[in-house]
A and B are shown apart, each in its own frame.
Chain A
Amino acid sequence: MKPAPFDLVVATDLGEALEALHQGGTEARVIAGGQSLVPMLNMRLARPATLIDITRIPELSRIEATADTVSVGAAVRQTTLERWEDLADRLPLVRAALPWVGHTQLRNRGTVCGSVAHADPSAELPLCLIALGGSVTLRRRRKTRQVAARDFFQGMMSTDLAPGEMIASVTFPTHRKGTGYAFREVARRHGDFAIVACAAIARHDGSATLTVGGVADTPRTLDLPAEAADLDDRLNEFAWHLQARDDLHATARYRRDLVRHLGRATLKEALSCRD
């Protein structure tokens, strides 16, 4: 299991990376942490002609906080965000979810943006980005655009990224006073991909959202009153609406059950930790 041959461009600034990406067209691919891409190369599920390593680009290595957002550059490793001193205050949901992303040994190299680009339906970080209403900043030569997370993810491992384009950063809206967040997941073992993952947000105005990953082809959100009297009915309807499928890891029925039970528990937890 070895990768097929490719050229490797080690970019040192964003302009270089975008130029190489432009020239390489559909045969070029960004390599960030390599934690999803290198397995695909090793198994020859991917055979790019050119790889562009973006992890040595200083302008992509920053976590930038404003009054109400946090932007994470494309070279920022998952562990770096996990150890960021303001994470618990600014992004409590991401803080709760990050330890579930694979294992420490993978987070030490894997990037936040790489996980978003990869768009695995079970991945925790895309789930958080959608739940929080975040966005993705895309760059290509001479062009920048910003796309809402809910529009960026288009299907299983399929996104709005165009050829020649890369993610420069992702932006999360930060914690607002009076809001509660909770994250829960069921996987075969800790560190495995989620069978079902739930992120709940309960707001001070009495509204709430439950975003569920691992069931449909992208994470999906249910809006509801935080203290809905008919909570179980809503969750049941949502569980069916996600059109769960049987696979090696779990049956569709088990997934629906998890959406109902884990969903309820996650919502309750978010409600109870509003500050």
Chain B
Amino acid sequence: MPRLTQDETHEVRFTLNGRAVSARVSPRLLLTDVLRHEIGATGTHVGCEHGVCGACTVQVDGEPVRACLMLAAQAEGSEIRTVEGLAKREQLAPLQEAFRENFALQCGFCTAGILMTLDALFSREPDAEEDTIREALSGHLCRCTGYVPIVQAALAVRNRIKGGPIDA
């Protein structure tokens, strides 16, 4: 059984936005910190570090989770998607485009996490009702927009994709 000792670093391997990555981590390192500080993927933001704000939300094996509540070592073997995985080169994903068109972000601090939640929601449920969208968004705090434009952006992209994959 692997015991990862506290005084040493240990190799962890996972895929990040489809690319295999590895990093050396101590057991107490959080997933947010390995993403931002070891790998340099700073699109994932850190607000509260106790699961409340949602800024750090990433997808692990397709489901949105709090990266600040996961140890980096627990990511071993999983597939992780972050906001950097949404756009194709210079081409924003429809969800990101809808955020821009609907003024669904101001400072942008909450945006990466919200996008990962909505992206996962629409892959499971492309025709999600507004209630479901609002319920998914209840796991996120935004101090700028008042949420209305975020819901509008989500509804706009839902109506546009009507069943197709979200980032096709």
Contacts and interface: CB of A to CB of B under 8 A. Distances in A.
B162 interface: no
A2 B30 contact: yes
Interface stretch (B63-71, B80-88, B90-98): B63-71
Given A39-B51, A106-B51, A106-B139, A8 B27 contact: yes
Contact of B6 (A7, A39, A41, A189): A7
B71 A42 contact: no
A105 interface: yes
Contacts of B30: 2-3, 38, 42
Interface string A16-32: 10001000000000010
B145 interface: no
A190 interface: yes
A52 to B, nearest CB: 9
B71 A34 contact: yes
Given A39-B51, A106-B51, A5 B6 contact: yes
Contacts of B111: none
Nearest to A15: B1
A74 to B, nearest CB: 16
B143 interface: no
A191 interface: yes
A110 to B, nearest CB: 9
B46 to A, nearest CB: 9
B159 interface: no
B49 A104 contact: no
Interface in A225-249: none
Contacts of B26: 5
Nearest to B2: A10
Given A2-B28, A7-B27, A8-B27, A109 B3 contact: no
Contact of A12 (B1, B49, B135): B1
A3 B4 contact: no
B36 to A, nearest CB: 13
A199 B65 CA distance: 28
Interface string B33-52: 10000000000000001110
A6 B25 CA distance: 12
Contacts of A104: 64, 117, 135-136, 139
Q: Which 3 A-B pairs have the closest CB atoms?
A: A103-B139, A8-B27, A39-B50
Interface of B: 1-7, 26-28, 30, 33, 49-51, 54, 57, 60, 63-66, 68-71, 73-74, 76, 117, 135-136, 138-139
Interface of A: 1-12, 16, 20, 31, 34-35, 38-39, 41-43, 51, 53, 55, 79, 99, 102-106, 108-109, 189-191
21 contacts: A4-B28, A6-B6, A6-B27, A6-B28, A7-B6, A8-B3, A8-B4, A8-B27, A9-B4, A12-B1, A20-B1, A34-B70, A34-B71, A35-B66, A35-B69, A38-B30, A51-B27, A103-B54, A105-B117, A106-B139, A109-B66
